[in-house]
Amino acid sequence: MDLAVEERGAGTPGASPAVAMRGITKRFPGVLANDAVDFEAAAGEVHALLGENGAGKSTLSNILTGLYRPDEGEIELHGEPVHFHSPRDALEAGIGMVHQHFRLVPPFTVAENIVLGEHGEDGGGGMFVHPRSIERRVLELGKRYSVAVDPRARIWQLSVGEQQRVEILKALYREARILIMDEPTAVLTPQESEALFVTLRSMAAEGRTVIFISHKLHEVKAVADRVTVLRGGRNVATVPTADASARELAAMMVGRQVELSSRRDRDAPHPTTTALEVEALTVPGDRGANAITDLSLSVRHGEIVGVAGVAGNGQRELAEAITGIRPPSSGRVRVDGKALRTSDPRSAIGAGVAHVPEDRLGTGVAPSLSIADNSVLKSYRGPDISQGPFLRRRSIYRHALELIKRYAVVTPGPDLRARDLSGGNLQKLVLGREFEGKPRVLVAASPTRGLDVGAIETVHSYLRQAARDDVAVLLISEDLDEILALADRVIVLYEGRLSGAFDPATSTVEEIGLAMAGGEHR
Amino acid sequence: MTLQIERRLQQPRWLSVAVPIGSIAFAFLVMAAVLGVTGHDPLHVYRDLFDSAFIAEGALTQTFVAATPLLFTGLAAAAAFRMQVWNIGAEGQLYCGAIGAAGVALQLGPDASSPLVIFAMVICGAAAGAVWGLIPGVLKTFARTNEIITSLMLNYVAGYILTWLIFDSASYWRDLSSIQARSFPQAKPMTENAFWPTLDLGSGTSSVVIPLGFLIAIGIAVLLHVLYKHTKFGFEVQVIGDSTRAARYAGMRTRRKILAVFAISGGIAGIGGASQVGDFSHTLDADPNGLQKSYYGYTGIVVAALGRYNPFAVCLVGFLIGGLQNAGFTLQGADFPSGLVGVMQGIILFCALGGELLIRYRVRWSSDAPVAAEEVQPASVEGVP
């Protein structure tokens, strides 16, 4: 990804910045989300907003889009002070935002979505819309910024990458001079990400301002002119991206030196016998169509196999079928040669299959129950936790204390509700509990999604430790960097089938990315 | 100055005591205004109210009588609601319990020993209620229907069955022994061995009579507490109630547990029906204007909510609401219309339920305008053309 060398419009020096936020403070009950934050972005630049989860990035952008009002501080656009009373004010002032979760109406067409809520003369004003003129303008904008989408297509027919284009078109259609992109690459393949960066750069080249929210360092390096780092609600620094290395940015972001996961930084694998075998598995998805079709794979003890793929290509269904949660329509799962009963999570648990689910708060734990209760979610039937029909509350409490200590879960105590834990600590609790069961196979689905750099490091070290302890690890992740850093072998899922198998030591990101996109040449 | 309502990050323990007391006090203040307008002396009315619920001769006994069915229906609702299973069919399950208990008592006849008859009435009442409760349970687990609708509709079905048994058929429960009974339909009367005993405390004017049903309900509350707090079953129920996905992930057999909870909930309501027959009516009360107009099942939902599904709190709330209903009967008279009694009971329940909001949220006066995320009407933006 070396798009960084493209020409960069750096804004006119001396002119007032396109966006200036000064001394922004925003308090929520018990949390100081923004503490006297200063932020400036010039016209014609891509400005990255970098920070861990909870650093205040979303709060700051929600203030800029008029969703929140700051408790203190002021906002200027092109040198003029503004006071937003609602998101509409910000919209009318030329601020557009592309959210991480798209705000689109699936049964509507692209054009309809773009004019939705618009009160302009040519748009949905009054009773009538003029589809022809809208469609023409959408096509024209699409061509100009290389975000072409068929304006008559319905949203549900589009891929995630195309839906994002619709969001961008929506902002462009409304003449947004300032565009905020909230973690836009989380759902894209590497190729799609690069195409997005081209679009963002061409928008900046026209004098628009792009605010790019991310916690991925290499993307920030690749696309942004300058970067503002937030930590704990304060701004740490604003620097030109060319002047800071990824390592320096990471240090600013977490406030200490971190080891960036580089490729292949784990011990040479020592795989032995086959632990997990999936044979010709076909799994229906929620909508009836097959989410996984005739898929076979195997994982040996002590090996980490990475399953790469863009979100929604059958990853969740694969994990759920292996762990017995979702019934497959055909095929078989074996652990150490013994076939599991399909559609019976207890059979998988009994055979030593641990599972770190993608949805850790709703599935991995019961959110309103205490840490103590959640620490025995799978082992409560065991003899040291219960006696006959009765629970042994004391040993549950002791068990939880030990888990908290061993896996460094930061909490006031075992009585805290699981939902009150931070993402990283929740994941430590889930991982710890799954390891306690002495698993033979670990299925980990997006184990670091939404976690901050420090927590990601911890989770990675736990996964490596599991492999060292001879556990067969199936790591399902949309983060290719993570897979490359951890996996001994990589397989790629595309539309529920294997579209490639790679040795991470000898393959490039581009090759794997191509397989993630279905292998078509662009 | 604007009013802001925000979620509490912590819910201090003292609030769960202070808020209900504060809500009731507030309700009495509001009611004082209503009473003042209608020409009554609030203090006088409140003294009468308290007196006729708890102090006067026989008042406590009557309160126990009014509270007994509410304890059963309240516990039945709480048992299901804890698992986020919304069985609102306690009403119908109570009728079925009454039918079952009356049937077995008639079957055993006048010669069976009283403890045996009473025991059989409890068991058959529970079984009939459980079977009726399992219908929405089976429909929910196997046909994915909404249990709120099915359990509610089955209340009407149970009511019609009850009426039909005595008024429109020559059923086993109907008394057909005399010409008079044939022309004025009524249920067969119970014999004395099916009358449930009472616990009599004190003597003379200060004596208090507690029905057996009340004591059984307290016992059920203890059992429910142990079941939900200290057994594997209770643990599973809690997990399923919180997240069915987490329960499936942990390998729990969720369908069986949901069915069990419906059976437990229906069974408790069914014993409530048995208690109606054994403790009070001593016959199957099928009159559409009798038992069916008491709405014990629906009041039980309010009792369960106010008791926050905690079995012991449900018993306490049931007792207090029983007192309120009992006092209502005593208060109404020539100068105090029954409508006013209803208004008073309504205001108290409304404030008590509304007060629950304050446990989870707090209200704050702030000088600055709050976040206006929802308002989308165009407003002026200064400095931007």
pLDDT per residue as tens digits for the range B354-373: 887 788 787 777 554 444 33
Residue A230 pLDDT > 50, yes or no? yes
- In this structure, the answer to whether residues B68 and B29 fall within a common structural domain is no
In a domain, A424, yes or no: no
Residue A84 makes CB contacts below 8 A (sequence gap 6+) with A65, A66, A69, A75, A90, A93, B381
In a domain, B5, yes or no: no
Calpha distance A427→A423 (Å, rounded): 6
Contact indicator for B88, B151 with CB cutoff of 8 Å: yes
In a domain, B370, yes or no: no
- In this structure, the answer to whether residues B36 and B129 fall within a common structural domain is no
- In this structure, the answer to whether residues B164 and B70 fall within a common structural domain is yes
Calpha distance A62→A53 (Å, rounded): 15
- In this structure, the answer to whether residues A7 and A79 fall within a common structural domain is yes
3-state SS, residue A240? strand
In a domain, A334, yes or no: yes
- In this structure, the answer to whether residues B104 and B178 fall within a common structural domain is yes
Residue A300 makes CB contacts below 8 A (sequence gap 6+) with A271, A272, A273, A274, A275, A472
A381–B381: do the CB atoms touch at under 8 Å? no
Q: Which of residues 64-93 of A touch B (CB under 8 A)?
A: 67-69, 71, 77, 80-89, 92-93
How much is the pLDDT for B95? 97
pLDDT per residue as tens digits for the range B247-268: 999 999 999 999 999 999 999 9
Residue with the larger pLDDT of the pair B125 and A10: B125
Chain A neighbors of B230, CB-CB under 8 A = 390-391, 393
A386 touches chain B (CB under 8 A): yes
- In this structure, the answer to whether residues A457 and A317 fall within a common structural domain is yes
pLDDT per residue as tens digits for the range A445-468: 989 887 777 788 889 999 999 999
Residue A180 pLDDT > 70, yes or no? yes
How much is the pLDDT for B333? 80
The residue segments making up the domain with residue A477 are 274-352+439-516
Residue with the larger pLDDT of the pair A443 and A249: A443
**What confidence tier does A203 reach under pLDDT thresholds 50, 70, 90?**
very high
Interface of B with A (CB under 8 A): 6-9, 230-235, 238-239, 242-243, 245-251, 368-373, 375-379, 381-384
Chain B neighbors of A373, CB-CB under 8 A = 235, 238-239
> Per residue in A413-427, is it b (16+ CB within 10 Å) or e — as a string?
ebebbbebbbbbbbb
Chain A neighbors of B384, CB-CB under 8 A = 77, 80, 82, 92-94
Chain B neighbors of A381, CB-CB under 8 A = 232
Q: Residue written as tokens 């590497």?
A: A190
What average pLDDT does the structure give for chain A? 86
Calpha distance A402→A417 (Å, rounded): 17
Chain A neighbors of B249, CB-CB under 8 A = 323, 325, 345, 355, 357, 363-364, 377
Chain A neighbors of B372, CB-CB under 8 A = 69, 85-86
Q: Which of A142, A176, A210 is the last residue of a domain?
A: A176
- In this structure, the answer to whether residues B28 and B177 fall within a common structural domain is no
User: Distance (Å) from the C-alpha of residue A298 to the closest C-alpha of chain B?
Assistant: 22
In a domain, A154, yes or no: yes
Calpha distance B93→B268 (Å, rounded): 9
- In this structure, the answer to whether residues B26 and B83 fall within a common structural domain is no
pLDDT per residue as tens digits for the range B23-46: 888 999 999 999 999 888 999 989
- In this structure, the answer to whether residues A233 and A302 fall within a common structural domain is no
Given B243, B247, B248, which is nearest A367 (Cβ)?
Answer: B243
Query: Number of C-alpha atoms within 13 angstroms, CB side, residue B351?
Result: 18
Residue A366 pLDDT > 90, yes or no? yes
The total domain count for chain B is 2
- In this structure, the answer to whether residues B96 and B139 fall within a common structural domain is yes
Residue A127 pLDDT > 60, yes or no? no
The total domain count for chain A is 3
Chain B neighbors of A95, CB-CB under 8 A = none
For residue B103, give the CATH number of its domain: 1.10.3470
User: Distance (Å) from the C-alpha of residue B257 to the closest C-alpha of chain A?
Assistant: 14
- In this structure, the answer to whether residues A246 and A280 fall within a common structural domain is no
The full length of chain A comes to: 522
Given A86, A344, A378, which is nearest B375 (Cβ)?
Answer: A86
- In this structure, the answer to whether residues A118 and A57 fall within a common structural domain is no
- In this structure, the answer to whether residues A211 and A159 fall within a common structural domain is no
Q: Closest residue of B to A79, CA-based?
A: B383
Q: Residue written as tokens 């009315």?
A: B45
Chain A neighbors of B233, CB-CB under 8 A = 389
Q: Closest residue of A to B367, CA-based?
A: A71
In a domain, A390, yes or no: no
- In this structure, the answer to whether residues A200 and A305 fall within a common structural domain is no
- In this structure, the answer to whether residues A168 and A304 fall within a common structural domain is no
How much is the pLDDT for A268? 56
The residue segments making up the domain with residue B26 are 18-40+340-364
- Of chain A, the end-to-end C-alpha distance in Å amounts to 16
- Mutating which of A69, A116, A353, A433 best tests the B interface, going by the most B Cβ atoms within 10 A? A69
A366–B246: do the CB atoms touch at under 8 Å? yes
Joined together, the tokens standing for residue A419 give 């939902």
Contact indicator for A275, A472 with CB cutoff of 8 Å: yes
- In this structure, the answer to whether residues A17 and A164 fall within a common structural domain is no
A89–B379: do the CB atoms touch at under 8 Å? yes
Given A68, A69, A88, which is nearest B376 (Cβ)?
Answer: A88
pLDDT per residue as tens digits for the range A41-76: 999 999 999 887 778 888 899 999 998 899 999 999
- In this structure, the answer to whether residues B214 and B353 fall within a common structural domain is no
How much is the pLDDT for B275? 97
Q: In a structure prediction context, what are the per-residue pLDDT tens digits for chain B, which is 385 residues long?
A: 567 777 776 677 788 788 888 888 899 999 999 999 988 899 998 998 899 999 888 899 999 999 999 999 999 999 999 999 999 999 999 999 999 999 999 999 999 999 999 999 999 999 999 999 999 999 999 999 999 999 999 999 999 999 999 998 889 999 988 888 888 888 999 999 999 999 998 877 778 999 999 999 999 999 999 999 999 999 999 999 999 999 999 999 999 999 999 999 999 999 999 999 999 999 998 888 889 988 999 999 999 988 889 999 999 999 999 998 898 888 888 778 888 888 888 898 888 888 877 887 877 775 544 443 333 333 333 333 3
B235–A373: do the CB atoms touch at under 8 Å? yes
- In this structure, the answer to whether residues A210 and A68 fall within a common structural domain is yes
In a domain, A389, yes or no: no
Residue A122 pLDDT > 50, yes or no? no
Given B238, B246, B378, which is nearest A362 (Cβ)?
Answer: B246
Backbone φ, ψ for residue A471 (5° rounding): -80, 140
Calpha distance B232→B167 (Å, rounded): 46
**What confidence tier does A260 reach under pLDDT thresholds 50, 70, 90?**
low
- In this structure, the answer to whether residues B276 and B345 fall within a common structural domain is no
Residue A3 pLDDT > 60, yes or no? no
Nearest CA to B261 among B100, B74, B81?
B81
- In this structure, the answer to whether residues B258 and B111 fall within a common structural domain is yes
In a domain, B185, yes or no: yes
B84: Cα separation from own chain's centroid:
17
**What confidence tier does A2 reach under pLDDT thresholds 50, 70, 90?**
very low
Given B238, B248, B381, which is nearest A82 (Cβ)?
Answer: B381
The DSSP line for B348-380 is HHHHHHHHHHHHHEEEEEESS----SS--S---
- In this structure, the answer to whether residues A37 and A56 fall within a common structural domain is yes
pLDDT per residue as tens digits for the range A468-479: 999 999 999 988
Q: pTM for the whole thing? A: 0.75
In a domain, B9, yes or no: no
Q: Closest residue of A to B362, CA-based?
A: A29
Contact indicator for A151, A135 with CB cutoff of 8 Å: yes
Calpha distance A257→A254 (Å, rounded): 8
Q: Closest residue of A to B238, CA-based?
A: A369
Joined together, the tokens standing for residue A366 give 């019961």
Report the share of chain A in percent with pLDDT over 90: 48
Q: Which of A129, A157, A176 is the last residue of a domain?
A: A176
In a domain, A20, yes or no: yes
For residue A10, give the CATH number of its domain: 3.40.50.300
Calpha distance B254→B227 (Å, rounded): 17
What average pLDDT does the structure give for chain B? 88
User: Distance (Å) from the C-alpha of residue B143 to the closest C-alpha of chain A?
Assistant: 17
How much is the pLDDT for A324? 94
How much is the pLDDT for A119? 59
pLDDT per residue as tens digits for the range A304-330: 999 998 777 889 899 999 999 999 999
* Predicted-complex ipTM score: 0.81
Q: Closest residue of A to B242, CA-based?
A: A366
Q: Closest residue of A to B370, CA-based?
A: A69
B381–A83: do the CB atoms touch at under 8 Å? yes
How much is the pLDDT for B372? 39
Q: Closest residue of B to A71, CA-based?
A: B368
- Mutating which of B225, B257, B361, B384 best tests the A interface, going by the most A Cβ atoms within 10 A? B384
Q: Which of A176, A203, A230 is the last residue of a domain?
A: A176
B382–A81: do the CB atoms touch at under 8 Å? yes
A419 touches chain B (CB under 8 A): no
- In this structure, the answer to whether residues A81 and A110 fall within a common structural domain is no
B246–A87: do the CB atoms touch at under 8 Å? no
- In this structure, the answer to whether residues B246 and B359 fall within a common structural domain is no
- In this structure, the answer to whether residues B110 and B229 fall within a common structural domain is yes
How much is the pLDDT for A267? 55
In a domain, A415, yes or no: no
Given A323, A348, A363, which is nearest B246 (Cβ)?
Answer: A363
In a domain, A166, yes or no: yes
Phi-psi region of B84 (alpha: psi -120 to 50; beta: other; left: phi over 0): left
Residue with the larger pLDDT of the pair A157 and A439: A439
A302: Cα separation from own chain's centroid:
27
